[in-house]
Amino acid sequence: MRTPVIGGNWKMYKNPAETTSFFESFRPLVEYSGHCEIVICPSFLDLETAVTATRGTRIQIGAQNLYWAKEGAFTGEVSGPMIRASGCSHVIVGHSERRRYFGETNEGVLKKTVAALDVGLIPIVCVGECEKENAESVLMEQFRYAIGALSDGQFARIVIAYEPVWAIGAGETATPETAADTHRFIRTLVKDRFGAEAANNIRILYGGSIKPENAKSLIAQPEIDGFLVGGASLDPVSFASIVNLEL
């Protein structure tokens, strides 16, 4: 049995005051949600506030990006050890918006994933195609270069998020069947590279316009091990209703 992960990616939304107020509402709503792991990824500026606001709860906090060097003259960057020291457990790596607007490559994603693992952060490594038509070839390439070079031990500690770029913020999601097919395809890539046990254990999350209304039919697919939610994670009631779907 794979424990589902329900992640919230806040992108470039919310300041510290808004973060505090979110958690005041959200905490009681997920008090009994022991069936899944909850990970919220606010901006760097909000991490400390979020960590403080969730201390003593089951809610975990992650960053949305990191740089692979431990420290140094890299103006504007934030390192894995800094994120770990701020109390985070997770970090999103290779989100399509990072790839698209900030030039991230598969090679960089691999370096960031390794840097995160080196300091004990759990990387949520994102993959996904821009156009529906070439999903398999894009996923194969991303998997091969951004994930395939990890060691077995490193791979065992990551989470994969499949986010078709055409579904992000678009109001359009993959149908549950298509999403499940793609997750199955990714699991086959995992099996070929890391073996059957790794393929059975890896959590593959789905992301792209997840809302309380469409989440139920997607999570009903055994291939889908949770979500990475953008817009709907900004509202405590919406996000809690996605978290609590299986209660």
Residue positions annotated with a catalytic role: 95, 163
User: Smallest Cα–Cα separation from 163: which of 3, 4, 2, 7?
Assistant: 7
Size of the chain, expressed as the number of residues it contains: 247
Q: Specify whether the CB–CB gap between 108 and 143 falls below 8 A.
A: no
| Listed ranges 102-110, 112-120, 214-222, 224-232: which one lies at the site for ligand 13P (CB under 6 A) | 224-232
Least distance in Å: CB of 51 to ligand 13P? 20
d(CA 48, CA 13): 15
Site for ligand 13P in 154-213 (CB under 6 A): 163, 168-169, 207-210
Amino acid identity, position 186? I
DSSP state of 67: B
- Which of 46, 231, 238, 243 binds ligand 13P (CB under 6 A)? It is 231
- Which of 9, 33, 106, 113 binds ligand 13P (CB under 6 A)? It is 9
Least distance in Å: CB of 230 to ligand 13P? 2
d(CA 35, CA 246): 8
Least distance in Å: CB of 18 to ligand 13P? 17
Least distance in Å: CB of 37 to ligand 13P? 16
Q: In a 3-state reduction of DSSP, which class is residue 129?
A: coil
Phi–psi pair at 145, nearest 5 degrees: -95, -30
Q: Specify whether the CB–CB gap between 238 and 218 falls below 8 A.
A: no
- Which of 179, 229, 243, 245 binds ligand 13P (CB under 6 A)? It is 229
Does residue 219 bind ligand 13P (CB under 6 A)? no
Least distance in Å: CB of 95 to ligand 13P? 6
Size of the site for ligand 13P (CB under 6 A): 14
Site for ligand 13P in 85-144 (CB under 6 A): 95
- What's the gap between Cα 56 and its chain centre? 22
Residue 208's alpha-carbon distances to 29, 132, 165, 199, in angstroms, are 23, 13, 7, 23
User: In this complex, which beta carbon is closest to ligand 13P, that of residue 62 or of residue 194?
Assistant: 62
- Which of 62, 94, 148, 230 binds ligand 13P (CB under 6 A)? It is 230
Residues that bind ligand 13P (CB under 6 A): 9, 95, 163, 168-169, 207-210, 228-232
